[in-house]
A and B are shown apart, each in its own frame.
Chain A
Amino acid sequence: MSVLSVRRPTPRAQVGKAVAVVALLVFTLFPAYWMLVSAFDAKAGLGTSFVPAEPTVEHFRFVLTEGGFDVFLRNSAVVALVTVLVSAVLALLASVAVARFRFRLRTQILLMILVVQMVPLEALVIPLFVQVRNLQLLETLLGLIVVYVALALPFGIWMLRGFVAAVPVELEEAAYVDGASWGRMFRSILLPLVAPGLVATSIFSFITAWNEFLFAMTLLGGATENYTVAIGLRSFFGQFSNEWGAIMAASTLITVPVMVFFILVQRRLAAGLTSGAVKG
């Protein structure tokens, strides 16, 4: 039943709604659909067929072997996983501090974390390029990881703060009454209860690191063997003609993990987390 009206809709309104839903779905899904069609079509771009005219997995084979995309996928996975691990630990510790303690400058630190998220990457890329260059980490994955940890951190702290705050203080107090130290309480009470939030936050950091393009392009320069997927795609753009079938196959490989993770996060966020952990 409709939420915005109590009346029963007329048949004409029903038809109008159905048309609107179909149009919306076509608009929303067409780019992803077209990416898949082109990736699986040996004749991509030679006609106006809206299904693969000549189905093939040749583009994927080419991309993963001669195209070198297997290396790019591995690089991206390494960068994203290390970024997730490091930023999750740092964000968890910091979020416990701002969600569980009252101390001087707490509000200022929270505001700083909020404001820092709005800073355009184009402003950070110039000084960070110089900084990473001075550390002799240009063209290495380590230089990229260091930057990505910093990029993922503010949002991670901000998001985890909510999850930590949602854990009832009574549970912590019960642990102290039972004689647990702060460290024991952290490990045995807080950590398991914040775990779903940690998973959601980690997935967001993963997506950040997986998709990032500006720093990968700037810091990795000409070191093709260290390219991540986001800039590896550019190697399929020829000077005179573009290998669109290969580009779309590679794009599919990049997009699928992100879409899977996105759906996972949605569920995690929807689940009521720790609601009901304390029974009245």
Chain B
Amino acid sequence: MASSVPVAVRADDDPSFARTGRPRRSWVARSRPWLLLAPGLAVLAVLMLWPLLRVFLFSLQDYGLPQIVSGEPNWIGLGNFAEVLTSEQLWSVVLPNTIGFAVLAVSATVAFGTAVAVLLASLGTAWRAVVSSCIMAAWAMPAVTGTYVWVWIFDADRGVFNHVLQSLGLQDAPVNWFTDRWSFYAIVLLNIVHHGFPFVTVTVLAALLGVPRELIEAAEIDGAGGWRRFFSIIVPQLRQVFAVVIIMSTIWDFKVFAQVFLMPGGAGTNREVLNLGVWSYVESFGQNRYGFGAAIAVLLTLMLLAITVVYVRTILKEEEL
């Protein structure tokens, strides 16, 4: 990771100070960091922080098309949140599809990615380079085209998956895999793991190659088997790396949008497969209930914020900002 480079700032590196040797700094030199930051901060303030505050304000209103046109507020207090939190849809469909799926997807991605990293570490240098490049192809595939390819593979009438099952005699008639909630999310899971495991593999592999060989040699001489060496020697060495990889994957897998939205029925027609992000979008832009959609989005943001706090604490342990 580029961010792990230590920050080379010292007390005496202020340019004007270094140049003139005078302890008093000019006004320009003192305000230089702020001048440099100003354009970027202005963009972030207007296009990230203000909208973030605004989505919260919207969530406290009955905000629909009339409010968008007139710009007049229409406060209803916590009404939207009450409606979201008491809705059957949230508890029986949306939360399981969001949290349950994220748990499954993160476990599968991290387990598979780590297994591949161990496999790569056991290969020779040339093969390792070839296989890693192929893995990059899976990572580089854009979410949109990747999702369409999976939809095409599992297409009911002409998809290769049904064709193969039928020619093997495992299935009499084509099956529509997108109508059932479980098979729908199984395909999403396949898509997410396929797209997400290269990040885990690359990060864990880099850390694996950094584990001191003496440790592994010593354990092997002491008679520790492969599993024992992995869980007792390598995993403790890589705790920090695993923490970062797990948290990053969790953040991504909570926010799955295109991979669900672009599947047949995923854009709101099949209410069984909604997750928090898609539900928020469908309520806002499909039903013009922007206030209600904003309340759902606020819930999603709060969940991610909680995970982010854990993440920030983890990297603050590792390096000084």
Contacts and interface: CB of A to CB of B under 8 A. Distances in A.
B85 interface: no
Contact of B131 (A24, A163, A230, A259): A24
Contact of A147 (B47, B133, B194, B298): B47
Secondary structure of the A contact surface, majority rule: helix
A187 interface: no
A211 interface: yes
Contacts of A218: 285
A205 interface: no
Given A100-B9, A126-B290, A150-B44, A118 B300 contact: no
Interface stretch (B99-107, B119-127, B177-185): B119-127
A231 to B, nearest CB: 8
B257 A214 contact: yes
A124 B262 CA distance: 20
A17 B49 CA distance: 50
A102 B150 CA distance: 49
B127 A21 contact: yes
Contacts of B118: 4
A24 B254 CA distance: 26
Interface string B10-35: 11011110110000000001001110
A220 interface: no
Contacts of A211: 142-144
A34 B163 CA distance: 14
Secondary structure of the B contact surface, majority rule: helix
B251 A126 contact: no
A94 to B, nearest CB: 4
A6 B165 CA distance: 44
A254 B136 CA distance: 16
A223 interface: no
A197 B307 CA distance: 29
B312 A111 contact: yes
A189 B135 CA distance: 37
A34 B142 contact: no
B44 A153 contact: yes
Given A103-B33, A254-B144, A5 B3 contact: no
Contacts of A11: none
A94 B58 CA distance: 31
Given A119-B52, A211-B143, 13 more contacts: A4-B121, A31-B150, A35-B152, A48-B160, A112-B49, A118-B304, A123-B55, A130-B290, A154-B44, A173-B18, A182-B32, A244-B158, A255-B142
Interface of B: 1-11, 13-16, 18-19, 29, 32-34, 36-37, 39-41, 43-44, 46-52, 54-55, 58, 68, 71, 116, 118-119, 121-124, 127, 131, 133-146, 148-150, 152-153, 155, 157-160, 163-164, 167, 194, 208-209, 211, 213, 216-217, 220, 226, 229-230, 234, 251, 254-255, 257-258, 262, 276-278, 280-281, 284-285, 290, 293-294, 297-298, 300-301, 304-305, 307-308, 311-312, 321
The 7 closest A-B pairs by CB, nearest first: A45-B158, A150-B47, A94-B40, A127-B51, A262-B140, A162-B2, A97-B36
